Structure 1
Amino acid sequence: MLIDLMRHGETQMPGRLLGRTDPPLSEAGWRQMERQTAGRSWDVVVASPRRRTEAGAARVAAKRGRTLRIDADWAELDFGAWDGRLPADVRADPEAAEAFAAFYGSPDAAAPPGGETWSALVARVARALDRVLAEPAASTALVVTHAGPMRATLALTCAIPFANLWAFSIKPGTRITLRAGRDNTAGLWGEIVEVVQP
Structure 2
Amino acid sequence: MSYTYFTLIRHGKPDDCDRLLGRSDPELTDAGWQMMAHASAGLEAEQIISSPRKRCSAFARHFASSQQLPLQIDDNWQELDFGDWDGELLQRLWQQPEFNQYWQQPFDNCPPNGESTQQLLQRVSAAITDLSNRYPGQRLLIFTHSGVIRLVLWWLLNGQHSGNAHLSQVHLSHAAKLDFTTFKDENQKLWPQLAGLQQSTFVDDGSPA
Q: TM-score, normalised by structure 2?
A: 0.85
Q: Which residue of 2 aligns with 1:12?
A: 15
Amino acid of the residue matched to residue 18 of structure 2? G
- C-alpha RMSD of the superposition: 1.9
When residues 181 and 149 of structure 1 are mapped into structure 2, their CA distance, relative to the original with a 3 A threshold, is farther
Question: Structure 2: which 5+ residue stretches go unaligned?
Answer: 201-209
Question: Structure 1: which 5+ residue stretches go unaligned?
Answer: none
Q: What's the CA shift for 1:135?
A: 2.5
Q: What's the CA shift for 1:155?
A: 2.3
Q: What's the CA shift for 1:112?
A: 1.1
Q: Which residue of 2 aligns with 1:75?
A: 78
- Distance in structure 1 (CA, Å) of the matches to 2:6 and 2:104: 28
Q: Which residue of 2 aligns with 1:176?
A: 178
- The answer as to whether partners of 1:180 and 1:190 remain within 8 angstroms in 2 is yes
SS for the counterpart of 2:175 is coil
Identify which range, 145-154 or 19-28, moves more after superposition. Answer: 145-154
Q: Which residue of 2 aligns with 1:34?
A: 37
When residues 186 and 151 of structure 1 are mapped into structure 2, their CA distance, relative to the original with a 3 A threshold, is farther
Q: Which residue of 2 aligns with 1:98?
A: 97
- Distance in structure 1 (CA, Å) of the matches to 2:63 and 2:134: 19
The structure with more helix, counted as a fraction of residues: 1
- Distance in structure 2 (CA, Å) of the matches to 1:187 and 1:18: 35
- The answer as to whether partners of 2:156 and 2:194 remain within 8 angstroms in 1 is no
- The answer as to whether partners of 1:41 and 1:64 remain within 8 angstroms in 2 is no
When residues 136 and 188 of structure 1 are mapped into structure 2, their CA distance, relative to the original with a 3 A threshold, is closer
1:45-68 per-residue CA deviation (whole Å, 9 max, x = no partner) reads 101111111111111111221110
SS for the counterpart of 1:34 is helix
Q: What's the CA shift for 1:71?
A: 0.9
Q: Which residue of 1 aligns with 2:203?
A: none
When residues 186 and 87 of structure 1 are mapped into structure 2, their CA distance, relative to the original with a 3 A threshold, is farther
Partner of residue 52 from structure 1, selected from 50, 55, 72: 55
Q: TM-score, normalised by structure 1?
A: 0.89
Overall identity of the aligned pairs, in %:
30
Q: What's the CA shift for 1:39?
A: 1.0
SS for the counterpart of 1:42 is coil
Q: Which residue of 1 aligns with 2:150?
A: 151
Amino acid of the residue matched to residue 193 of structure 1? A
1:112-161 per-residue CA deviation (whole Å, 9 max, x = no partner) reads 11111111110111121122212235421111000111122122233134
Q: State how many pairs are aligned.
A: 194
When residues 4 and 63 of structure 1 are mapped into structure 2, their CA distance, relative to the original with a 3 A threshold, is same
